[in-house]
Structure 1
């Protein structure tokens, strides 16, 4: 951002690269230079794969699983992307296996490989194997990179459109963090207004408007409606966060709705931007907690405006 000076620029590639590198550090134990061709290629694969999965045609796979194997259209392209991502990850996993230090694991892949070996020794019937590692890393990237990147971009936009809010956040950052160190998650407890601002941005924008599909394990009745066993349920999180029966003036941007009379953050059961249950745990951690230091750093150093 500093390189652009006061000139306008598109923040997406900068933000996306920065967030993705955090996931890379956690999974691979290394960061990639933004100009690294393999890194850029992998991000393109992940982004395109997610875009295809949101395609209306791909949604039909949840109903007719055989559609996934059709030899044309987005189905064929998605399978090719999965192969390309798998090839990239296999090389990294191979390098980790060769350099693995049992006494000193360095990252998520090391920990996973060690656990696979333990499972082989203790449980020959365990389904815990290396094949699942590809899917887990993919989930980490999608849950962590996409949600955090989009939340950050929306935060930058709302800051630029609401300079009074930006000034309050800036003042809080200066008071708590100052200019001599980088922000960390431990600062969050002392920065209620900044946290409330991020929560309000996430409530308004809903980076995941429709939550992860669930399925009923048994027949149930909800508010007079009978839902048969095996029904696919897709929660509409956008509706929850724009419901005027729950939120006063839901279309207005107002961080104060998340603050009590003492200026501390109020935890609301109706605030569920990443869904509920265990399936949304990582999305919440990455999308909410991971956004805090990323918002603090640019807002501490720059005045953000929209052109």
Structure 2
């Protein structure tokens, strides 16, 4: 295993991007899918279809805005139930973010008091947290460890089983109720495309098994990463009230107190955008990106790297490199602004990765982050409870980097 140097990552060298390897047991749920599948014709077909279908349902388009803004109304209601008492924002934010991807993929959203759905979100978070535990990683050496009937091994298998039942149940419901003349979501479109493919190509890669893995990709990756980023946003805002105040002043100036935000506002809100970017730089919710594998024998900085070597891109190190960022441990949105207060594009700011394996959900994540973050700042002031201990800011390390549990106090603006 080799930790991919920053320069190699930015070169987008095709030798380091052609194939990937499933080296974490939890990924069995996601593989082959899109995120962790080997690069090749099948991956290209599936990714192209997935991207075009998601765009059909609003990915990266203003047409998706109303769905996100509508979901925030439920977030607002849930937050207001707590009054001025400290509470954990984790379940509310997780449910809201997941509902956006669920509406695109499943054609439905889930109520915040839906115990079964809350269980799925908790299981997903737990699975990502323990997936790179040292015990679990031993499975890469001794695969039979995966079937041990105790400890983390048993817990991981149960998580995969429960999530599999949940996702396959949704696919089954769609298959039984499919209206060929009126597809409602990603699953419907995939099932219709699958039927067409089978008529002309008996070896088509489009089948229900692949659909299951893609849905796993979208549901798990699409929920966890954006959820954690928004939670980091709330934590940093509650710990940095002066930054929160600047964001809110910009919101008042550009949007006002009542109008819902729009992506068209983003260009007029450089400080708010810089704040989101600084949270992403500090937190790096996917610290090691997506694992790659060399497609051929190659040489890097004098080292010979055999074909099939697992490559890890240390995105966390890129975003904390003191040779690139001045005082990288300090939270400072101003580093993304020039002297005139205009947004600066930084070459080494790559929270979604780069190259052929760049996150397919980048556009959706950016939409959700901006609209949700602005809506939260527009409506509420977030304060860290005075009697609470500040959480460890390095975060909980797993396949993704989530903040440690924390509470906030919310007051209405």
Same fold (TM over 0.5): yes
Matched with 1:204 is: 282
Taking structure 1 as the reference length, the TM-score comes to 0.92
User: Does structure 1 residue 47 correspond to structure 2 residue 115?
Assistant: no
How far did 1:283 drift? 4.9
- Alignment gaps of 5+ in structure 1: none
Q: Secondary structure at the match of 1:303?
A: strand
- Matched with 2:266 is 188
Q: How far 1:288 sits from its partner (Å)?
A: 3.5
CA contact (8 A) 1:161 1:306 kept: yes
Q: How big is the shift at 1:299?
A: 0.7
- Is residue 265 of structure 1 aligned with residue 365 of structure 2? no
C-alpha displacement of 1:70: 4.4
* The structure with more helix, counted as a fraction of residues: 1
3-state SS of the aligned residue for 2:375? helix
Question: Paired residue for 1:90?
Answer: 168
Q: Distance in 2 between matches of 1:184 and 1:270?
A: 27
Find the residue that maps to 2:313 and give its secondary structure: coil
Query: Contact 1:242/1:251 (CA < 8 Å) preserved in 2?
Result: yes
Secondary structure at the aligned position of 1:292 is classed as helix
Alignment RMSD: 2.0
Structure 1 pair 54/180, CA: closer, same or farther in 2 (3 Å)?
A: same
Does the Cα contact within 8 Å between 2:337 and 2:343 map onto a contact in 1?
yes
CA shift, 1:180, in A, is 2.9
Taking the aligned partners of 1:230 and 1:64, their CA distance within structure 2 comes to 19
The Cα of 1:64 is off from its aligned counterpart by 5.2
Count of matched residue pairs: 307
Q: Indicate yes or no: 2:232 matched with 1:154.
A: yes
Q: Distance in 2 between matches of 1:64 and 1:195?
A: 46
d(CA) in 2 for partners of 1:121, 1:187: 47
Is 1:298 matched with 2:394? no
1:243 Cα shift?
Answer: 0.6
Contact 2:131 2:137 in 1 (8 A): yes
Distance 1:176 1:65, change over 3 A: farther
Q: Deviations over 1:196-225 (max 9, x none)?
A: 101101111221222221111112222222
Question: TM-score, with normalisation over the residues of structure 2?
Answer: 0.70
Structure with the greater relative contact order (CA < 8 A, sep ≥ 6): 1 or 2? 2
Distance 1:121 1:17, change over 3 A: same
Structure 1 SS opposite 2:383: coil
